[in-house]
Structure 1
Amino acid sequence: MSVGAKATAPGGRGDRPADAGPGPEAASTVQGLPSDDVFTSLDTSARGLSATEARTRLDRYGANELPRSGRTRVWRQLGSQFTDLFAMVLIVASGITFVAYTLEQPRDVGTLQLAFAILGVVVLNAGIGFAQEYSAERTAESLQAMVPHTCRALRDGERLELPVRELVPGDVVVMEAGDAVSADCRVVEAHELSVNNAPLTGESNAVGRTAEPVSAGPLLEARNCLFMGTDVVAGSGRAVVFATGAETEFGKIYRLAAAAPRQKTPLQLQVASMARRVAGAALAIGALMFAVRLPTGEPLVPLFVFALGVMVALVPEGLPATLSVSLAIGVRRMARRHALVKQLLAVEALGSTTVICTDKTGTLTQAEMTVARVWADGLVHPVTGVGYAPVGEVDAPAAVRELLRVAGLCCNARLVPPTDLRRWRVLGDTTEGALLVAAAKAGVDLDAAEVATPRVTEFPFDSERKLMTTVHRGGAGHHAYAKGAPSELLARCTAIAWEGERRPLTEETRAAVVAASDELAAQGLRVLAVAWREVSGPRPTQAEAESGLTLLGLVGMLDPPRPEVTDAVRACRRAGIRIVMVTGDHPLTAEAVARRVGIVLGPTPVVVTGAQLDTLDEDALDALLAESSELLLCRVSPEHKMRVVTAFQRRGEVVAVTGDGANDAPALKHADIGVAMGASGTDVAREAASMVLLDDSFASIATAVRLGRTVYQNIRKFLIYLFSHNIGELVPILAATFAGFPLVPISAVQILAIDLGSDVLPALALGAEPPEPDVMDRPPRSRREPLFSRAVVGRILFLGGIQALGVCAVFFWHIHSAGIPFDDFTEDNPVYREAITMVQAGIVISQFFNAQAVRTDRESVLKVGLLSNPALLAAGFLGIALMAAISYLPVLQAVFNTAPLAAGDWALLAGLGVLPLLADEARKGWLRHHRAEARKGVNR
């Protein structure tokens, strides 16, 4: 079944007629009915539905598929690129400039060029943003759905393979080990049937299913029901479908996730705030300039265009494109590390994360049970290797070979070798799969053992005995092999195998076995005991087969952590990120895994269950989250997980949530950044997440945080770069106005030429700067920290002030050198044209050096390397080349009213232009010295 397939609106078949017959409401009753009555309740039979009835119900209930999330139409997606505040301000500015052009007498072609240039910037920004988002969305849609496309069902008594979407309530499905469950069903026939409910409950252990009626209670806890999205791991059986599509438990979680609002990222909020402030400031200063220069007697239209130029000088036209490309670079870098980012802004959000709420099964662990310890003869034998690949060793294998042979023969699972598309896997119970792998590691040939000692009888596992026993024919007699819970099996043993001999099981020895079992359990291992005995014949009674046993030893297994997780957790801790495990698994198992991967380091972590969370009000929950540095939340439901995420956000935290199951989807969507697993994750989880880890590696989280922080650093770098030269453009205009000079030192067309020709490409190159070495040694920034922090504003003023002083000095020096009174200057005056050319060139050259200065916060740019970002150098030289063309080419001289500069002019401008770089290097040196002195004081 494909989650992405076409379906009815979320909520399923709410318009189903009253006489529709069996349907989702049957779920509340079928669990308490005997098998025969289930057929009657769902208006079907043991032969299944007829083809005609199946078609009727398909029309009535709809296809068995989940509703597709609404995809934004392409034209709307493109149109949204024109609705951010920067785009709207520029569109208005372009429109006003067109109006100004029509009112001018005579009309100035430069005004028309300015209008088209501003509009071109808007279109360019929109195209870049749309292309990046559209590409990421299409890539996300290419991920495969997790639910199977076909299933086996009975129609008119005949077993057929049907498309999953054609299943309807009343269908009788046939289930075997390895099958995925395609709808919610009531079991009517079970043969050692067990399922893995991890996608719904988060628990990795297989749970048995029965065909017997069970008492009323939560549907997910009904042992006679199967649920969409889960897997059959052992046995076989038949079941009757009672809910399909959005009405399944899987579908209900999907709807819960769809209802959860998508949170805006910190960068979205800050860019919106910055856009409002910059737009307001630009309009206010433009109006002020118009008012200040109005008494000079200038014509209104040119004066209005001048004020508009001031406004354009303050609006960073290249910021939207630069922001989109910087985020896109982060997306591409993460894609190379197998992380698919569905939303550009999610990259930065992950970089500002302060809390990660992580699932356990499949996220921190491999979701593959593995034998880690074998206890026999009073000794523990470690087992190397993880997962289902039979690669690894058992310490002193000869001592445990018989134990693992017996355990392997007492199994119904089987190992499936890898293919081109899939790795080693197990068909059947994952615990039994771990035993088969351990036997292979010890050198046991189970195929040969099955031939030598074929099975003749079996007493299946049940939850009351907590045992499984098989009877085998071997040599001249028959043997019973048993495995199960140590407490249950030990009570049935009278002897123990010790150093190749059969010894009586004394109280002292029994106590030693119990102590060994407790020690293995304390390590977070799931412990099984293995025993055997001779029986009288091929058909012994269960009482005979499971009494008077000889204990062979104990096996301890676990769902192993992913090998890369420990380093990833350590990196996140170093970065000041708090990690909270949120799982549906048992508290002891959760704590054991948390200790192995480094989430828990202290002796007493706070462990809270879902039932305990239900007793906490909002104030108590806030206090718990604030006080507990090492917190494990176990046995939690999807509602609990989302409540915890909301509580963290209420405290001002930026929350990332990882998960792979459908039960994780609501929290994934509600979080600031949802991270789903791509390979093992459910389609519902991938749909809800902002980012998908294609390789399921938790280590990608740490990498993503590092890249996200780098994106934010680079955004700040090009903000400093963009806004610092705005000061260099604005201050000369203000200085000329208050000095009484009748003309502007730089025109609106010149300003736009700087913004487009000398700003955008270097800013894009700054967005591609690699991470600084200490990026993961800094604490997360506060969610409330503004994009224009005190440090950023201070650096803008510092670098922009130096540029402004330089160009002001050049302008007035050149004007005064002519010896002409201010009032005698006209726009055609050669000295004036040379002066404004020097102002424009001075800003361009100083920005070339300024770009090198802002590449680092504290480190010297010489240490980073002046040539280490060739794209930045190329963009800077291109801007200078464009400036030279504006100065020397007659066609551009006519557009910008410029004049050719002499070599001495360029030398003077280069000397002034390098001042921002030198001054910033001095500032960085002082910071490093001050930091070193502070460290010395601490060390003393």
Structure 2
Amino acid sequence: MRTAVDPPAQGGGEDESAGAPTGSSPRSTAVRELAAEDVFAALDSSQRGLSAVRAHDRLQRYGANELPRARRRPVWRQLGAQFTDLFAVVLIVASGITFLAYRLGEPRDIGTLQLAVAILGVVVLNAGIGFAQEYSAERTAQALEAMVPHTCRVLRAGERQEVSARDLVPGDVVVLEAGDAVPADCRVVEAHELAVNNAPLTGESNAVSRTAAPVAGGAPLDARNCVFMGTDAVAGSGRAVVFATGGETEFGRIYRLAAAAPRQKTPLQIQVASMARRVAGLALAIGALMFAVRLPTGQSVVTSFVFALGVMVAMVPEGLPATLSVSLAIGVRRMARRHALIKQLLAVEALGSTTVVCTDKTGTLTQAEMTVTQVWAGGAPHPVAGVGYTPSGEVFDAAPVRELLRVAALCCNARLVPPGCSDRPGSRERWRVLGDTTEGALLVVAAKAGTDLGAEEEAAPRVTEFPFDSDRKLMTTVHKNGATYQACVKGAPGELVARCTEVEWEGRRGPLTAEDRAAVVAAGDALASRGLRVLAVARRELDSPRPAQAEAESALTLLGLVGMLDPPRPEVTDAVTAVRRAGIRIVMVTGDHPLTGEAVARRVGIVRRPDPVVATGSRLDAMDDEALDTLLAEPSELLLCRVSPEHKMRVVTAFQRRGEVVAVTGDGANDAPALKHADIGVAMGASGTDVAREAASMVLLDDSFASIAAAVRLGRAVYQNIRKFLVYLFSHNIGELVPILAATFAGFPLVPISAVQILAIDLGSDVLPALALGAEPPEPDVMDRPPRSRGERLFSGAVVGRILFLGGIQAACVTAVFFWHVVASGIPFDDFTKDTPVYREAITMVQAGIVLSQFFNALAVRTDRQSVLKVGILSNPPLLAAGGFGVALMVAISYAPPLQAVFNTAPLDAADWALLAGLGTLPLLADEARKAWLRRAGPAKGAPR
């Protein structure tokens, strides 16, 4: 932030002097320290505002009042990125070399060309599927954009005008009233009980008053004579001079902080990248070894290469990228039905591995609507039902406190706006308050008690007001009451009770005794200890419509106390319980007061113990990284209050240093840096700011914390399903690879299965069943397990063991079938060519054997320990249909002449099919035996699900 502005033109005249500020907006700490009348000169403006010409010139100089749009990759770059996947690179290189082999071969083999085209087709198909899924998710997310108010009221050449907020410039005089959104950073020069809600920037839910008086320097957001873009005026009115627009605002500063934060890779991204490197490296190494082994046997370079290529293709799971993308997309759609929009596909799985949730308070756990929950009078509490600004619910035993609530409602400047009467986006279908939220809560509780607010205001019109100030901590209004007048007073209990001499409870009026005072103090303390904001209400009869303030606020008659809070969302408690049961730690991170934060945390179940650790931003400032790590390592319940955006991001980084997978929730611009830096950033869609939604990788369309619990459940299911189809895909790769290796060491001159056949299996027969496995619903106990650690590998020992177990059975069967068919023919190995009928039948049996065994393998991998018979063989119809399609495709490859020409296959007879079907059931039967043994052995210990 700049600390000075250039010398201004004098008097705010029509000419822009050479000394006027140029470049970016003249935001300055100095304007806070100036008297209101000096602010105009410092910002080169006047009380009449700017002229149209000067405003236009400044718009050209400073630019539009809008945040810079996030740079999005062009579509062609997004599509191109799909071809940089390591599997894609390996296949592209293999296709290129195969095409070169076709060109150099004499005579040219059309089968080699078909192989080159087929491999390239696989790459294009995978890229198309991945791009379509990510592009669709991104376009949906862009539909949420909208934050800065569209219009605002300014003074231009002394006339009040409504202009587009993007046309606002430094020096403009903005007119603010209750309910207005603040369009830029401004210095207040005139304030009439002006109060703003700074929650989008600070996270603090209570309204804060503004003044036109100069204040000493300090943190920008602490300046009581400034208002900031993205906040709202909730009470009073005033005028303010713009000193910063667009990216130069505090909102813009946080936006830049968020943009600078690196996007973290999800655990699945890291593990898939590691898996791809290892599989690709192993495939290249074994392929090179096979090439080196075959070349000295006298075969041509092209033949040896095609053989080695078959080995490589057998080891690369070509269908994995497409299967992974579509499986994640299925998770995205399921989450969308639970009001959670996923902007990045891999964020789906990241939710399943989350170990810590850092959640803000206002608007996420609470409804951001102050609500009276308790009225106290005459020693008796009167609970209030209903939450929010909707005047439904009731006050228990309302008759004794109806006068108290009538007086409290009269002493308010706020207005209750019913549905359909607001022009603010998103508010047409709900009640809202225009003005201070505390006063709004008083209006609502009065209506619940049966008070007709309009009739009371008409019967007792206001004639005088003594506004609230921080010294008196009181507000007083004077109303005509028949032939006399009545002062209605509300304020802090300590200040107001000290001015009372009488008490009126249940219609009985008498002196306020020492015992009564002690009872009121005790009741106020009890309400405050529950996290409620407490106000006292009193009145006094007057003879004059214009009494002195001291007279109106002395010798008062106490009516009682009102306790209110920003209520938790009703569904949050169950969601918090579910998240805790899943072994996920919840840490509240809020800009609010520690007492308020702890009270809400207790209500929703985040805090259950009597001694949670409560740390403020100032305490975090005093800690080095080692001390912060020690604090976060404590097993106690943790609340972080009065924190800044920098604090929040530092906490996220510290958790990640400890190996935690961190999810961060937030709705304000102050949350954006942490949202982006977290492993999974969760923004609010309805009430959240554009900056927060842009930084997040997930948006809750209903703003409900409960959707996080549902999303974690679905995210865990996605990871389980990914493991299922990895076992399914890689097990048959062993069945493809082992026959080729066996043929090499047995001295057979041809491959038992060609690269084109392998591609047909990987894409034609395996992808659809793998997708059906990826759509398996979550298992019932998925939220009763602890989250996996960040270091847990996708290919754990149990997963690899199961791949080898199932794949080894398939490999043994098809290898035996191939050599049985070849040896039974009586033809010497050296006499075989690819056109030999027996060879064509043998490789057809190998391909068909793998397809049939994979059909039964898909049923086996649906569960790890539970019998598939208990789950139900028919309980996943898409899986059966997908397996049936693969078998039908294999039948077509065996019998259709055009496909026979492409794959070099031959028709099989009924006995062949019967043999292959019998062998194909062996993986399922063997796995059922393994599961039965595991169930007898005892509970699972980290087995893959």
Q: Distance in 2 between matches of 1:803 and 1:921?
A: 15
Taking structure 1 as reference, are residues 933 and 185 closer, same or farther at Cα in structure 2, changes over 3 Å only?
A: closer
Q: Distance in 1 between matches of 2:834 and 2:690?
A: 66
2:179 and 2:435 in contact (8 A); partners too? yes
Q: Please list the CA deviations of residues 113-135 of structure 1 after superposition, one character each: whole Å capped at 9, or x if unmatched.
A: 11111101111111111112222
Paired residue for 1:908?
Answer: 915
Paired residue for 1:305?
Answer: 306
Q: Distance in 1 between matches of 2:506 and 2:900?
A: 99
2:865 and 2:935 in contact (8 A); partners too? yes
Identify the match of residue 479 of structure 1 among 486, 510, 513: 486
Q: Does 1:572 align with 2:579?
A: yes
In the TM superposition, residue 934 of structure 1 has moved relative to its aligned partner by 9.8
- Superposed, 1:176-255 pairs within 5 Å as 176-255=177-256
- Superposed, 1:407-806 pairs within 5 Å as 407-419=408-420, 421-806=428-813
In the TM superposition, residue 18 of structure 1 has moved relative to its aligned partner by 7.0
Taking structure 1 as reference, are residues 521 and 931 closer, same or farther at Cα in structure 2, changes over 3 Å only?
A: farther
SS, match of residue 33 in structure 2: coil
In the TM superposition, residue 441 of structure 1 has moved relative to its aligned partner by 0.7
Gapped regions of structure 2 (runs ≥ 5): 1-16, 421-426
Q: Does 1:354 align with 2:355?
A: yes
Paired residue for 1:8?
Answer: none
1:21 and 1:43 in contact (8 A); partners too? no
In the TM superposition, residue 105 of structure 1 has moved relative to its aligned partner by 2.5
Paired residue for 1:331?
Answer: 332
Taking structure 1 as reference, are residues 23 and 77 closer, same or farther at Cα in structure 2, changes over 3 Å only?
A: closer
The root-mean-square deviation of aligned C-alpha atoms, in Å, is 1.7
Q: Distance in 1 between matches of 2:823 and 2:146?
A: 74
1:22 and 1:242 in contact (8 A); partners too? no
Q: Distance in 1 between matches of 2:232 and 2:288?
A: 68
Q: Distance in 2 between matches of 1:934 and 1:101?
A: 52
2:463 and 2:545 in contact (8 A); partners too? yes
1:468 and 1:483 in contact (8 A); partners too? yes
Paired residue for 2:6?
Answer: none
SS, match of residue 552 in structure 1: strand
Paired residue for 1:9?
Answer: none
- Superposed, 1:818-829 pairs within 5 Å as 818-829=825-836
2:463 and 2:480 in contact (8 A); partners too? yes
Q: Distance in 1 between matches of 2:892 and 2:590?
A: 64
Deviates more, 1:922-931 or 1:118-127: 922-931
- 2:104 maps to amino acid: L
1:26 and 1:42 in contact (8 A); partners too? no
SS, match of residue 312 in structure 1: helix
- 1:437 maps to amino acid: V
Taking structure 1 as reference, are residues 833 and 21 closer, same or farther at Cα in structure 2, changes over 3 Å only?
A: closer
Q: Does 1:891 align with 2:892?
A: no
2:587 and 2:638 in contact (8 A); partners too? yes
Paired residue for 2:876?
Answer: 869
- 1:236 maps to amino acid: S
- Superposed, 1:85-100 pairs within 5 Å as 85-100=86-101
Taking structure 1 as reference, are residues 880 and 408 closer, same or farther at Cα in structure 2, changes over 3 Å only?
A: same
Q: Distance in 1 between matches of 2:808 and 2:861?
A: 15
Q: Distance in 2 between matches of 1:370 and 1:930?
A: 56
Q: Distance in 2 between matches of 1:601 and 1:71?
A: 44
- 1:477 maps to amino acid: T
Paired residue for 1:36?
Answer: 37
1:101 and 1:112 in contact (8 A); partners too? yes
Q: Give the alignment's TM-score, normalised by structure 2.
A: 0.95
Q: Distance in 2 between matches of 1:919 and 1:404?
A: 75
Paired residue for 2:342?
Answer: 341
Q: Please list the CA deviations of residues 17-69 of structure 1 after superposition, one character each: whole Å capped at 9, or x if unmatched.
A: 97426975453111111111111111111111111111111111111111111
In the TM superposition, residue 507 of structure 1 has moved relative to its aligned partner by 1.4
2:809 and 2:923 in contact (8 A); partners too? yes
SS, match of residue 660 in structure 2: coil
In the TM superposition, residue 567 of structure 1 has moved relative to its aligned partner by 1.2
SS, match of residue 609 in structure 2: coil
SS, match of residue 264 in structure 1: coil
Q: Does 1:846 align with 2:847?
A: no
Q: Distance in 2 between matches of 1:580 and 1:476?
A: 58
Q: Please list the CA deviations of residues 847-889 of structure 1 after superposition, one character each: whole Å capped at 9, or x if unmatched.
A: 0011111122232222222222222211111111111111112
In the TM superposition, residue 174 of structure 1 has moved relative to its aligned partner by 0.5
Q: Distance in 1 between matches of 2:85 and 2:932?
A: 39
In the TM superposition, residue 424 of structure 1 has moved relative to its aligned partner by 0.6
- 2:801 maps to amino acid: G
- 2:90 maps to amino acid: V
Deviates more, 1:35-44 or 1:292-301: 292-301
In the TM superposition, residue 628 of structure 1 has moved relative to its aligned partner by 3.8
Q: Please list the CA deviations of residues 806-853 of structure 1 after superposition, one character each: whole Å capped at 9, or x if unmatched.
A: 112222222333344434444333333222211111100000011111
Q: Please list the CA deviations of residues 614-646 of structure 1 after superposition, one character each: whole Å capped at 9, or x if unmatched.
A: 111111111110114310000000000000000
In the TM superposition, residue 900 of structure 1 has moved relative to its aligned partner by 1.5
Deviates more, 1:413-422 or 1:435-444: 413-422
Paired residue for 1:64?
Answer: 65
1:296 and 1:742 in contact (8 A); partners too? no
Q: Distance in 2 between matches of 1:241 and 1:934?
A: 63
SS, match of residue 563 in structure 1: coil
Q: Distance in 2 between matches of 1:26 and 1:253?
A: 15
Q: Distance in 2 between matches of 1:214 and 1:658?
A: 34
1:23 and 1:242 in contact (8 A); partners too? no
In the TM superposition, residue 489 of structure 1 has moved relative to its aligned partner by 0.7
SS, match of residue 363 in structure 1: coil
2:23 and 2:62 in contact (8 A); partners too? no
Q: Please list the CA deviations of residues 246-271 of structure 1 after superposition, one character each: whole Å capped at 9, or x if unmatched.
A: 11111111111111111111111111
SS, match of residue 381 in structure 1: strand
- 1:594 maps to amino acid: A
Q: Distance in 1 between matches of 2:551 and 2:702?
A: 50
Q: Distance in 2 between matches of 1:31 and 1:569?
A: 43
Deviates more, 1:872-881 or 1:611-620: 872-881
- 2:80 maps to amino acid: G
Gapped regions of structure 1 (runs ≥ 5): 1-15, 936-940
Q: Give the alignment's TM-score, normalised by structure 1.
A: 0.96
Paired residue for 1:131?
Answer: 132
In the TM superposition, residue 399 of structure 1 has moved relative to its aligned partner by 1.6
Q: Distance in 2 between matches of 1:22 and 1:417?
A: 45
- 1:530 maps to amino acid: V
Q: Distance in 2 between matches of 1:556 and 1:17?
A: 57
Q: Aligned residue pairs: how many?
A: 920
SS, match of residue 732 in structure 2: helix
2:25 and 2:62 in contact (8 A); partners too? no
Percent of matched pairs sharing the same residue: 81
SS, match of residue 190 in structure 1: strand
Q: Please list the CA deviations of residues 190-233 of structure 1 after superposition, one character each: whole Å capped at 9, or x if unmatched.
A: 11110100001100101111111122222211111111100000
Q: Distance in 1 between matches of 2:477 and 2:936?
A: 75
Paired residue for 1:366?
Answer: 367
Q: Distance in 1 between matches of 2:354 and 2:563?
A: 37
SS, match of residue 461 in structure 1: coil
Paired residue for 2:48?
Answer: 47
